[in-house]
């Protein structure tokens, strides 16, 4: 997840969504969650260019990008559907 200071949606994801034990268990079971500070461009993983925050990328086991979304440009059905 690409985040940045002062991003209300990022804070919500960290403080509310990821604090939900059911969601947290599901994510930990099926995904590796990695947080990158949007303002530290040198930390961007190769090939991933966030388009706002928070931005999420779904990668396959080989690190290939399968899906990208942020709070304005996708829904859960886009990712899991």
Please write the tens of the pLDDT for every residue from 18-34: 899 998 899 888 888 88
- What's the pTM? 0.68
Nearest residue to 14 (alpha-carbon basis) of 31, 33, 40: 33
pLDDT category at 77 given cuts 50, 70, 90 is very low
Nearest residue to 5 (alpha-carbon basis) of 38, 51, 49: 38
**Strand 55-59 to strand 65-70: parallel, antiparallel, or no bridges (unpaired)?**
antiparallel
Paired residues of 58 in beta bridges: 67
Backbone angles phi, psi at 58, to 5 degrees: -105, 120
């Amino acid at each position: 997840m690409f985040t940045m200071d002062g991003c209300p949606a990022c804070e919500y994801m960290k403080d509310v969504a990821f604090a939900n034990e059911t969601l947290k268990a599901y994510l930990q079971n099926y995904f590796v969650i990695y947080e990158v500070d949007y303002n530290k461009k040198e930390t961007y993983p190769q090939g991933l260019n966030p388009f706002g925050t928070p931005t999420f990328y779904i990668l396959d086991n080989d690190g290939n990008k399968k899906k990208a979304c942020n709070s304005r440009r996708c829904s859960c059905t886009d990712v899991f559907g």
